[in-house]
Structure 1
Amino acid sequence: MAEHPVGRVAAMSGTSVRTLHHYDRIGLLTPHARTAAGHRRYTDTDLARLRRILYYRALDFPLDEIAALLDDPDPDAHLRRQHRLLRQRRARIAALLTELEREIEARGRGVALSAAEQLEIFGTERFADLVAAARGAGDDWRAISVYGSADWREIKAEAERLIAEFAEAIAAGEPATGDRATAAAEAHRRHLERWFHDCDPERHVTVAEQYVADPRAIAEWDAVAPGYARYVHDAIVANARRQSTS
């Protein structure tokens, strides 16, 4: 039977001589052979036991529990147990990686909110996707990934106030080119500029086009108030004209 000196065993196993000496002192791994001078020599049987010890150590088992587990005389039981534990660890790690990747992806899209937070605040788990679509090719967006849930709640509340102001102007019969509507449009422009991106009147007109570019978007906005999408578009355009002549 081959015999291996402690230094070689340490190198082969990726552990240290000091650790092997400690395992010997506590009776966890006592080499089966010694030289005439009393130096430790490890047999293949010892190496097999060391391999099982290192598996359990990798699973964060304390040494006293490892000793008890190794007293099981059934070697197949060791393998099955280690296999099961490693699979469980792999599943936990995979789950953690998935969560981290989701967070990284969300931050890449510019929203530092979990799917649950997105659902709670905005009523959809895909709010980050909507933001990404709105960003388009623009490269001057604020670093919105730093916004937390409190920020997004404030953004939402502010946006809802703006929507309500447009809707109330429509209900009051105010023209889209009138003072009330253009004031709401200017507040909308400042909202975008505060939270999302530079938005001079010219760019704001580009934003306005999004309200009337897609029939599905028109239908969704018009559910707020009849003609809402066109009204907001026209109010933004009227405000931009006022700004350019003022």
Structure 2
Amino acid sequence: MLTLTLRNPLKLTWKGGDVVVKHVKEVANLTGISIRTLHYYDEIGLLSPATSETGYRLYTNDDIEKLQQILFFKALDFPLKKIKNILGRPDFNQLEALHYQKERLVEKKERLETIIATIDQTIQNVKGERTMTDQEKFKGLDFSQNPYEQEARKKFGDEAINQSSQKLKSLNSVEKDVLEQSFHAIYQNLAKLRHGSPASEEAQNAIHEWYDFLNNNIGYHYTLEAFQGLGQMYIEDERFTKNIDQYGEGLALFMRDAMTVYVDRNK
């Protein structure tokens, strides 16, 4: 194991010479990633920087480059587990990865540009400036497969997803609106609490409300184990993380931690 000695806040001295480093707060400010998320990356072994004798995380240039790779893969909606496996391979080649990422992101860009063009044409259609065919109205909008549903089926099985789908389809528009409002209210409340302790009474009450909401409205009963697995998926699958964090940066991780505490206390 490499032994590093802290000489000053910005340099580490080791056998090969001086290496410029950044503290976790500097990396958070540089990238816009929350400190909590960087700590989680360390926790799961995705990005584990060296530490000083006093326990401070110290990010070298290599760590920054690795973080850049992580974010490139995240931009392609890769789950964290897959990113960890890719970067951990002994034959991982950064240059090959960059070419691959560029190709996939260009494809994603082209698809988004197609969707934007469809929106522009739809605006013209609504204004009466042009007439769109039905095929043109859905150009770029091929959602024949739901990646969330596929992931959920792998995690919880077809029975749980089928029951949930049947339950939601049986609701009328008013019932769906009420359900959606309740959903948003729970997430907004959790977002207000995310900077505090996930084990606090307020956080645990809010998570209990989420647990009851799922079991009372989705058409499937979540055991405590399934509930904890759902929380883990919030941070392992970047697609879920991205959607949940729309309510507040770091909410997905906070919910995972609060759900884990809830399960431990209610076993």
Instruction: Tell me the TM-score normalized by structure 2.
Output: 0.41
Structure with max Cα Rg: 1
Structure of greater relative contact order (alpha carbons < 8 Å, 6+ residues apart): 2
Q: Give the number of the structure whose residues are more often helix, by fraction.
A: 1
